[in-house]
Amino acid sequence: MSIIQTPPARPDIMQDLAQQALESVRSGIEPVLKIIENSPAGAVPGFKYTTGGYRACDAYLPHDWSTFQWVGFLTGRLWLVADHFDDDRIRAAARKLAEVVADSLSKEPPRFSAAGSDLFYASCLGARLTGDTGLTDAALEATRQYSRNFDERLGVFFQVLGVNRAVIDTGLNLLPFYWSAASDPELADIARRHNTNLLDYGIVRDDGSAYQAIEFDLETGQPARRYSMQGYSDSTTWSRGQSWAMHNYVNVYEATGERRFFEVARKVCRWYVDHLPADSVPFYDFADPQAPAVPRDSCSATIAANALLRLARLDEESTGWAGTAADAITRELFTNYLSPGGVLLHSSWGRLPAEKAGAGFSRFPLEDVMPYGNYWVVEAAYRYLHADWSPLQLAPTTPLHVNAETAPSARTAAS
């Protein structure tokens, strides 16, 4: 049995809105293109939390939360816009950043785990879109370096080296391992093991909602508590954490075809859809009793929409409800949350703890701009406008053969 996908039919209105969204993004890219083009070798733009724009930075700084520049999400945005419009100027800017990221991370593993998103969306995606062997080799070496961050004893990636917690957010940083599977299958197995172990440790509740974090007792190697760092309480569901769970388990199902991951992916996606408000954009937490007088999180919504679009293609039994929910979410975002310059507005960091709030970007309960959301709104538009999703594919490039323990036939990217 092989994974075969065929794209579901999409209403013309969604394609029209997606095209308008990408045109807005393209018009808003001009200032950051000038920063990239006028910067010396090794310099990168850094994300500005207050506006969603960028500032010039002298060097790439992937090792600490407080200085992290979110280069990967910007570069992924540039790659997809360049590919859609066949724009060589945007493509050249993306390549410049992709080479900085790959060169830096091929020398040493990042100490801050979010650099995994830099590696995939800048360098791995760029290598796939351009076929550049030098970039491919550097990205593969960087992925091998990054694998050193895996904790063999617990079988998980910690959020930051030296801490004792694993978070659902880490799923977004495992993408390079899936990308490198054809060249080094052991790397892909790291992501599979991480996701298997997080499930065994109880990151997903029985009803399909997800905790944000698991803290470990490092003496016993067992979970000490399951909790939320950014949601309303440990017993409620932080909306972006739930969208990370959707993203993560759709990813690992697409990459492996394993039934357990398929069932979890469908379960966490269904929970999210069943708990959305009428306008399809969640509050920062699904159970803060002060809603609606609390922030929305459009970032969570656009991550979730992409996961739902993919699930709708991978599993024909989910096509109806998942595709319908993705359309509703994305239409609301394209219509009411995207600025004329293509910045996704009205996200929230949630109730950040003091050590993260100290980095200078926590303004809870204000609605902010997210580096994640700015990327994923572009990916959603790209998926509506392109039947061929192979640039973003996580399954092996050759047909993935599955055994009796795998999920029912799921559907692969049409080319």
**pLDDT > 60? residue 411:** no
pLDDT of residue 149: 87
Give the C-alpha separation, 45 to 63, whole Å. 16
Helix residue ranges, H only, 257-363: 259-274, 298-314, 319-336, 354-357
pLDDT of residue 408: 42
**pLDDT > 50? residue 67:** yes
Give the C-alpha separation, 274 to 269, whole Å. 9
Q: Kindly report the number of other CB atoms within 10 A of residue 281's CB atom.
A: 25
- Rounded mean pLDDT of 117-128? 97
Residues 32-55 as b or e (16 or more Cβ within 10 Å = b):
bbebbeebeeebbbbbebeebbbe
Closest CA to 282 of 229, 236, 341: 236
Higher pLDDT, residue 412 or 112 = 112
- Rounded mean pLDDT of 213-227? 94
**pLDDT > 80? residue 404:** no
409 pLDDT band, cuts 50/70/90, is very low
Tens digit of pLDDT for each residue in 321-339?
Answer: 999 999 999 999 999 999 9
Give the C-alpha separation, 341 to 327, whole Å. 22
pLDDT of residue 359: 64
pLDDT of residue 10: 56
**pLDDT > 60? residue 414:** no
399 pLDDT band, cuts 50/70/90, is very low
- Rounded mean pLDDT of 16-41? 97
Its pTM stands at 0.92
